Amino acid sequence: MTISTLSELTRPRVLREETLLLFFWRRFRKHSMALVGTIMMLVIILMVVFAPLLTPYDPFKQDLKNRLQAPSAAHWMGTDDLGRDLWTRIFYGGRISLSVGLTAMAISILFGSLIGLVSGYYGGWVDSLLMRITEIFLSIPRLFVLIAMGMFLRT
C-alpha cells in the first residue's frame, strides 16, 4: 500500500449538506400513494386548465336534437337534457371549482398571515384575544354556519 492511498483512506469524508428541497423529495418519493395522488392531481389540474384545447364543444351551447344521448365516440359521457356535452361541462366545471378553491385558499392565507403577524408583533393581551377569537371560529361546526347563513341571507 502506498502512502497516497493510505492518506486517501484515512482522510475524513466530507458529507454534503442536504438541502430542504432534497430532503423533502427523498422522503416524498418513498411514499408511493403520495406520488400517485400528486400525479393524479397534476393531471386533473392540467386537464381543466387546458380544457378549451381538449374539448371540441362549447359547454353552454344547447343542441336539443342531441339531448339525452348515451356515451358515444362523439360525446364520450353523453349529453344532458339540453344536448350539452357532459365531458366538456365536467372540464369547465373543474375550472370553476379550481378557481373557487384557489381563491378561498388565498383569502385564508391572507387573513391567517395578517392575524399571525399582528398577534406576533403586539403579543400579550392582543395575542390572547386574537387566539381566542380564532378558537371560537374553529369550534363552530361549518355545517351549522352554512345552515344559519342560508336561513338569514335569503334573497
Residue segments in the chain with a per-residue pLDDT below the cut of 50? none
| Burial class (CB within 10 angstroms; exposed 0-12, middle 13-18, buried 19+) of 11 | exposed
pLDDT tens figures, 58-102: 999 999 999 999 999 998 999 999 999 999 999 999 999 999 999
pLDDT for res 151: 87
pLDDT for res 142: 84
CA distance 57 to 89: 9
pTM: 0.67
Q: What is the 3-state secondary structure (H, E, C) of 9-70?
A: HHCCCCCCCCCHHHHHHHHHHHCHHHHHHHHHHHHHHHHHHCHHHHCCCCCCCCCHHHCCCC
